[in-house]
Structure 1
Amino acid sequence: MKNPLNRRQLLKLLAAAGIGAPLAISRAQDSRQPAAKARDEVLAFLKARGHGSYLFGQVGTWVHNENPDMDAAGNWLKKVREHTGRLPRYGCITYDFVDDPFPDSAWNEGVRKVWERGMIAGVYNFWANPSGDRWNGPVDIPQIWAPGDNATKTNFHEQLDRMAANLRWLKDRGIPVVYTPFVESDDRNKWHAKNGSDAIIRLYRLVHDYFENTHGLDNRIWAYHTTQNNGALQRCYPGDAYVDVIGKSAYGTGLPFAEYEWAVAKKREQDKVIWWAELGIRGRSDPPRDCLDVLRKLEDHFPELAGFVFWSDEGFYNVVGNLNGRELMNDPKVVTLEK
């Protein structure tokens, strides 16, 4: 095997090609584009969390016509800041292709503002049912990859191209995102889970490969998560090559993570990030609870988790409608924007 060029040899070679030393060294050391470099930095940051350093995340918008501008009254990032005096370290914006309450430019600008304020930006996709039915209606998902043309396939690929253009817009501005193509892969209330685990696995892989290979998008950290149902995480898993972040939803007072040992093995053996992807710490009829219970649960039972992402919709899910939200965000073990 030949010895690699040393620094002096590399400089001589590049000088002969007419490339100056500072630029040559910069290119030789890091040929990544800004968005790809930022993506790798964010992923490294997430991988360093856990064991006494837990990321505080908040879904800024789900659907329900919630404004993607984090300074708008209906945005949950603003609500959390007003309630606690702090901003989360991670904020997520949903691109709602079902109701289409905003132009794509509004969602893009919303994500850009999250990033430019210093937060890690997350993106959810809420795809319209490609059958033309409601978001929770029936669909024959295999039609999406059937040979030839059909209405379901055409509809979904039009949505794919639309989302690819949005991700390209973000990439061109150096913005990486934690990207969740399907929110709760096993949730049969949503069309994408109606045909079972094999179909959602294939669908997830289709989105991944289409964005990676057809559109050359390299600014996404791929996030996958399921409901809190036991066994769902393994059953719907797209594969190690398709996932960077593995998450579970947890709703109610129990704060569960059913497949914790399996997820920890993925973290240790495959270098994955694991977290609570959706967290709602009580139900509507439950009394307000101590938000510090989240930290206690992490420390006592789930220390390998990188952190948690509070759900939006209603304050009883998150710090806005519960006790000691400010104290949770001020705790030195909880990573918010200001820490």
Structure 2
Amino acid sequence: MRNPRSRRRIAMATTAVAALVLGAAMLKLPGTADAFAATPKSTVINYLKSITGTSVVSGQHNKEPASAPLRYSQIANAITGQWPGLWGGDMMFNPADVANRQNVINQAKAQWSAGSLVALTWHACSPTVGSTCAFDGGVKTTITNAQFQDIVTGGTALNTTWRNRMAEVVPYLKQLKDAGVPVLWRPFHEMNESWNWWGNRPGTNGGAKIYQQMRDYFDSQGLDNLIWVWNVQDNPNANWAQYYPGSSYADVVSLDAWYKNYPSAADYAQIQTIAAGKPIAIAEMGKVPTAAFLSSQPKWAYFMIWSEQLQGSNTNAEIQASYFLPRVLNQGEINVSGTPTTTPPAAGAGKIKGVASGRCADVAGANTTNGTAVQLYTCDAGGNAQQWTRPSDGTLRALGKCLDVAGGVNADGTKAQIWDCTAGSANQQWTYNTTAQTVTNPATGKCLDASGQGTADGTRLQIWTCNGQSNQRWTLG
């Protein structure tokens, strides 16, 4: 729970959330994507390094209640038709949510299996209060320097209390280790802020020390699946390096953008200096990134929109525009293993059906003349104009002809047609991504698209820059 400073955070918008979530029922749900295999954390770290400068993973945080740990990701899906490439959750603090921690862990497993990265933070209660607490007075609270030093000094009562608190979350995190799920673990976030009990304590005996101690303890418990994310907020005081625990303790260096909609150029430079080649990320923000922002600061590996800020700070059009940016990677577009997710369609035969329209790819008039348009049309019971065979050579064939990019041109809007099949013709090659449900021509890198996002009979099919929109999603019968 962020509950933070109201001058920077907007209260949750309540407009039509229930309707949006219900609307998600018609869209691809988590679990339908190809599962990520059990993966060591180094694979994810290397993946984040590999996309640095070219791509950024979309993220959505899901705060309390722990009984609904997919709440805000569902809203993102209902608005965009996409699932975030990074799911965020919390180990929680209040009694009801702590009692439901297992729901959070179960969702983390489900999201990894669905093809999203997993991030967890922990709004931990101060060791000076009970193991569960309210946000105000428990997480957002002030303790003395003497109390903090007791917490980080072995053998004191407060240190024993704090070690017991950490021990309480170990069994949950071990479930993720046993399931082969790497976790972007972000403890003691916004270490340079004073709203939390661990913050605003620079130097080797301050926030850096408690961070180091947690990592040492969790490492001793065998939690080698945790990707340690260090975090500060973009407050004007800067000089964030005085809170850094050191390169041997942090795997990812991250910033929360709250004083400004987007990190400044100076913020971006400072984070890179601290990271010294490690992946960098925006761990919390309210405004969805724009194309201009990501072009000016291309090295962020992921961003995370904070729960209620998704709708509280953005219009649906802004959210859609951000998710559909070519640079942004959503669920189904993340390839941590390096194994291609797009392959020639599985051999067989059947219809190519548009997810948005419910209509089928159809050879206009069942005409076999070269150049005949391929269009959307109401799916029929068995006509040959909608029956596409998928041989092992990567072509899609109907009426003895091949689905073809007109003239082999790679411009957006180039029409799809049928043409005599030519062995090795690049404009007749297609791949299918079972996760994103896209049909792509590798030669152009473009997706099969219903023009103008049309859904009516006769809508012409074309190629267009892949953007994740529903008019580019197809099922193969």
Instruction: State TM-score, norm by structure 1.
Output: 0.77
Shift of 1:215: 0.6
Q: Report the secondary structure of 1:225's partner residue.
A: strand
Counterpart in 2 of 1:95?
Answer: 91
Instruction: Within 5 Å, give how 1:114-125 maps onto structure 2.
Output: 114-125=111-122
Counterpart in 1 of 2:272?
Answer: 264
319, 330, 341: which one aligns with 1:325: 319
Counterpart in 1 of 2:82?
Answer: 86
Counterpart in 1 of 2:54?
Answer: 52
Q: Which has the higher contact order (CA 8 A, sep 6+)?
A: 1
Of residues 169-178 and 258-267 in structure 1, the stretch that sits farther from structure 2 once superposed is 258-267
1:154 alignment partner AA: T
Inter-partner Cα distance in structure 1 for 2:313 and 2:181: 27
2:271 alignment partner AA: A
183, 190, 195: which one aligns with 1:177: 183
Counterpart in 1 of 2:280?
Answer: 274
Counterpart in 2 of 1:242?
Answer: 249
Q: Report the secondary structure of 2:52's partner residue.
A: coil
Deviations 1:108-145 (A, max 9, x none): 11211111111001111111110016222233111123
8 Å contact kept, 1:51–1:299: no
Counterpart in 1 of 2:69?
Answer: 69
Inter-partner Cα distance in structure 1 for 2:164 and 2:172: 13
Inter-partner Cα distance in structure 2 for 1:147 and 1:251: 35
133, 140, 145: which one aligns with 1:136: 140
Q: Does 1:204 align with 2:214?
A: no
Instruction: Specify whether residues 41 and 146 from structure 1 end up closer, same or farther in structure 2 by C-alpha distance, changes over 3 A only.
Output: closer
Shift of 1:147: 4.2
2:91 alignment partner AA: Y
296, 306, 310: which one aligns with 2:305: 310
1:41 alignment partner AA: T
Q: Which has the higher helix share?
A: 1
1:96 alignment partner AA: M
Indicate the percent of aligned positions where both proteins have the same amino acid.
22
8 Å contact kept, 2:184–2:227: yes
1:225 alignment partner AA: N
Shift of 1:77: 0.7
Q: Report the secondary structure of 1:261's partner residue.
A: helix
Counterpart in 1 of 2:40?
Answer: 38
Instruction: Specify whether residues 177 and 161 from structure 1 end up closer, same or farther in structure 2 by C-alpha distance, changes over 3 A only.
Output: same
Counterpart in 2 of 1:30?
Answer: none
2:254 alignment partner AA: G
Deviations 1:285-315 (A, max 9, x none): xxxxxx5x53311202x12221311111333
Inter-partner Cα distance in structure 1 for 2:312 and 2:245: 28
8 Å contact kept, 1:246–1:272: yes
1:121 alignment partner AA: V
1:47 alignment partner AA: K
Deviations 1:150-195 (A, max 9, x none): 1x22221111111121111111111110000122112211111154
Instruction: Specify whether residues 253 and 184 from structure 1 end up closer, same or farther in structure 2 by C-alpha distance, changes over 3 A only.
Output: closer
Gaps in structure 1 of 5+ consecutive residues:
1-33, 282-290
Shift of 1:40: 1.6
Shift of 1:254: 4.1
Q: Report the secondary structure of 1:338's partner residue.
A: coil
Inter-partner Cα distance in structure 2 for 1:264 and 1:113: 32
Counterpart in 1 of 2:197?
Answer: 191
Instruction: Within 5 Å, give how 1:294-305 maps onto structure 2.
Output: 294-300=290-296, 302-305=297-300
Gaps in structure 2 of 5+ consecutive residues:
1-36, 130-136, 334-477
Q: Which has the higher strand share?
A: 2
Larger Cα Rg: Structure 1 or Structure 2?
A: 2
Instruction: Specify whether residues 337 and 211 from structure 1 end up closer, same or farther in structure 2 by C-alpha distance, changes over 3 A only.
Output: same
8 Å contact kept, 1:223–1:246: yes
Inter-partner Cα distance in structure 2 for 1:318 and 1:254: 10
Of residues 118-127 and 254-263 in structure 1, the stretch that sits farther from structure 2 once superposed is 254-263
RMSD: 2.2
8 Å contact kept, 1:245–1:274: yes
Q: Report the secondary structure of 1:193's partner residue.
A: coil
Q: Aligned residue pairs: how many?
A: 283
Inter-partner Cα distance in structure 1 for 2:68 and 2:260: 29
Shift of 1:229: 1.4
8 Å contact kept, 1:135–1:191: yes
Instruction: State TM-score, norm by structure 2.
Output: 0.55
2:42 alignment partner AA: D
Shift of 1:210: 0.6
Inter-partner Cα distance in structure 2 for 1:318 and 1:337: 23
Of residues 111-120 and 140-149 in structure 1, the stretch that sits farther from structure 2 once superposed is 140-149
8 Å contact kept, 2:92–2:101: no
Shift of 1:252: 5.9
